[in-house]
Structure 1
C-alpha cells in the first residue's frame, strides 16, 4: 500500500505509415504532458530514421549502450520543448543484439529502471520476425493498435492483432483510429471488434479518434505539437480528450464517449 503508482507502459503498433504514426505519438505525448503527467516517448523501432531521428534526439545514448555499460542511464533521455522526454532503445540490429542472453537481461533491467522515472512510457513499437516485442515489459503492458478508415489499413491492423494474439494469448487490445471522423471511427471499431470477438475470441477497446485536420499537418511541418501551435483545431480537441482518458484510465477499462 505504501508503494507508488505503477508506471504505465503503452506500446503503440501502427497499421499506418511512419510519418502518421510519429505525428500521433508526438501529439499524444505532448497532450499527456499538458495534463501534468511525466511522459517518456521511447523509440523501439529498427529503422535508422525512426522517431528519435525525426525529433532530433538521435545523438543521445541508447538503452543498449547502458546495458553494455558504455553510457549512463542519465544520458539516455532528451527533453523536448513539447514537454516530454525522448529515448532510443538501440540503433543496431535488434535481433542479433538480443541473442546475447545476459545483454538482453541487462537491457530489460535498464528499461525497467527508466520506466519507473515516468508516469507514462509511450513506446513506438513494432513486431519482430517472431511476432514479439523486443522487451517482456512491452508485452505485459498496454498495447494499442493504430488504424485509419481505409480498407487496407483495417486489414493490416486486424493482421497485427491476429499476430499479437497468437503470440500473447487472449488479452485486450486498444484501437486508436486516426484520420477519420468520429462516425467513421465508430464504424471501424465496431467492425473490428465484431471480427475479433467472432474469430479470435478477443475483446477490443475503443481508445478514441483523431480527425483529418490540415492544422495537424501544418503543426508537424513547424516542428510543434498541434495543441501548442493551433489549440482550437479539431485535432487539438481530439488529442486533449485522448490524453485525459489515457492519463486517468487503464486501457483495459477505457470506453471513449461515442463508441460502442
Structure 2
C-alpha cells in the first residue's frame, strides 16, 4: 500500500512543475527534401491551430529544415551553450508561423564536434528552449554510432517517416531495428508520405507485423500524406500548403496530422503510442 503523504507531496510537486514540454523527434527514410517539406507543413498546420511550435534542426550531416528555410548560417544552440551568443539570437521566426533554431552550426557539410562538456551544456540550453514552446519538433538524425546528439531525445516521442517504395520501407525498418536495439523496447510512430491512404495502410500493416514478430516492437500509425502537386506549388511560393491551398488533399492530411500532435488545453498529451 502506498504512503499517502508521499503520494500527496509528489502530486503537489508535479502540479507546481507544470506540464512537461512536448518533444517529438522525426527521423526519415525518404529523400532528404521530403522530410523538410513535411516538417515545414506540419509546423505551419500546428501553428495555424493555435500551438506555439519550435522546430529544432538537429541535423549535423543531413539536409535539415533550417537549411531548407535559409536560416542555418546564423548562431546555434551550441554557441549559446558555450556563451558565445544569447538564446534569442539563434531563434528565427519562419513566415509559416513557427520558430526554428539550429542545434549545431554546419561547417563544410559537417557538424561541430561535441565534447562531453559541450553535450552537458547543450542539454541544459535545449531544456531552456523547449520550455518556451508548447510543442518542440526535432528534425533529427540517428547517428552512425546509434546515438542521438542529446540524451533527452532518447526519451522523446519518435516518429519515422517512410514512403511506399521498397528501398524506403527497408531503410525505415532497419532504422526501427537500430532504435529498438539502442533504446530498448518502446513504441515508435510511423508516418507514410507520398502515398494514398490504401497504400499507406499496406506499408504500415506490413511494417507493424514484422516489427511485432521479429523485434517485439509496437508501431503506431500516424497516418499518411498523399503525393500532391500543390505541395511543390506552395514550396515555390515560400508558403505552407495549408495556407496557400487549404483545400488540397495534402492540406487536409496535414490538418489531420497536426491534430494528432496538438496539446489539449490544460496539459500535455502523447500521440497514442
Question: What TM-score does the superposition give when structure 1 sets the normalisation length?
Answer: 0.93
5+ long unaligned stretches in structure 1: 255-260
Tell me how far apart the structure 2 counterparts of residues 179 and 65 of structure 1 sit (CA, whole Å). Answer: 37
How many residue pairs were aligned? 251
Larger radius of gyration: 2
The correspondence of residues 1-260 of structure 1 with structure 2, limited to 5 A, is 1-47=15-61, 49-92=63-106, 93-94=110-111, 97-98=113-114, 100-248=115-263, 249-251=269-271, 253=272
Shift of 1:151: 0.8
Tell me how far apart the structure 2 counterparts of residues 24 and 129 of structure 1 sit (CA, whole Å). Answer: 24
Tell me how far apart the structure 1 counterparts of residues 162 and 71 of structure 2 sit (CA, whole Å). Answer: 26
Moved more, 81-90 or 2-11: 2-11
5+ long unaligned stretches in structure 2: 1-14, 264-268
Tell me how far apart the structure 1 counterparts of residues 40 and 101 of structure 2 sit (CA, whole Å). Answer: 13
Tell me how far apart the structure 2 counterparts of residues 166 and 50 of structure 1 sit (CA, whole Å). Answer: 25
**RMSD of aligned alpha carbons:** 1.4
Shift of 1:48: 7.5
SS in 2 for 1:2: helix
Give CA-to-partner distance per residue, 1:36-86, whole Å, 9 cap, x none. Answer: 110011111113753212202123320010111101112121011111001
CA contact (8 A) 2:226 2:249 kept: yes
CA contact (8 A) 2:75 2:105 kept: no
Question: What TM-score does the superposition give when structure 2 sets the normalisation length?
Answer: 0.89
Tell me how far apart the structure 1 counterparts of residues 63 and 253 of structure 2 sit (CA, whole Å). Answer: 27
